[in-house]
Amino acid sequence: MRLVFLGAPGAGKGTQAQRLAAQEQIPHVSTGEILRESVKRGTPLGLQAKGYMDAGKLVPDEVVIGLVREKLTSPECARGYILDGFPRTVAQAEALDRIFRETGSPGLDHVISFDVPQDEIVRRLSGRRSCSRCQTVYHIEHDPPKEEGVCDKCGGTLVQRADDKPETVLARLRVFDQQTRPLVEYYQKRGLLQRVDATGSIDQVYARLLALVHATRMA
């Protein structure tokens, strides 16, 4: 199964991707996660990306396309994958189509758009915390850890992402509207788009997602 998860920051696509990838035993490929990890380790990629990420801007297409190409052509992605946070621009979507042509891949099965109203997104992002060790994501109201500030899974410290601060959230939402939203039409035209109502609890959204994935599998 080769899927793209599309949606505004805070739409919950990362959380849903983590769960579905574990259930389907396919890799969850999050470009944001790969970039954050590179920043933490101080690699050349991380040094290049940090300034853009802290400002809530997109990292240049050629940088992200290179890392996705490497990932998707690796053996771990042979059985499928969930792409989360890529593509984010029409140029990236075109590059993805090119990667499929060059590698003889049958291409994407579905692009799933996670739809959430903007005021809900701002609330979600401001309460989001993630583990500095294992990256598990929590929400201080909707999905809190058992002990405040401590990861249930590994005991690591929970932190707020630098780009979840209110000023940066607004910049990221603007970027989404201008650069990523056009992808809804891009994939609709190609008959690949499916929409999921991403309001409600994590379990409710996951149930809708599974129903959709199963329905399209039976078709």
Catalytic (active site) residue 128: yes
Residues 8 to 37 in contact with ligand AMP, rule: CB under 6 A = 9, 31-32, 35
Q: Which residues pair with 195 in a beta bridge?
A: 113
Pick the closer one to ligand AMP by CB: 159 or 215: 159
Q: Please confirm, yes or no, whether 69 is among the known catalytic residues.
A: no
Q: Does residue 93 touch ligand AMP according to CB under 6 A?
A: no
Helix axes 61-72, 44-54, angle to 10 degrees: 130
Is residue 178 packed enough to be buried (19+ CB in 10 Å), middle (13-18) or exposed (0-12)? exposed
Check residue 15 and give left, alpha or beta (phi > 0: left; psi -120 to 50: alpha): alpha
Site string for ligand AMP, 153-172 (x = CB under 6 A): ----------x--------x
Separation between Cα atoms, residue 83 and residue 28, nearest integer Å: 6
Q: Least distance (Å) from ligand AMP to the CB of residue 219?
A: 29
Say how many C-beta atoms besides its own lie within 10 A of residue 78's C-beta: 12
Contact track, ligand AMP, 48-77, x by CB under 6 A: ----xx--xxxx----x-------------
Site string (170-199) toward ligand AMP, x via CB under 6 A: --x---------------------------
Q: At what angle do helices 61-72 and 90-103 cross, to 10 degrees?
A: 30
Q: Between 92 and 194, whose beta carbon lies closer to ligand AMP?
A: 92
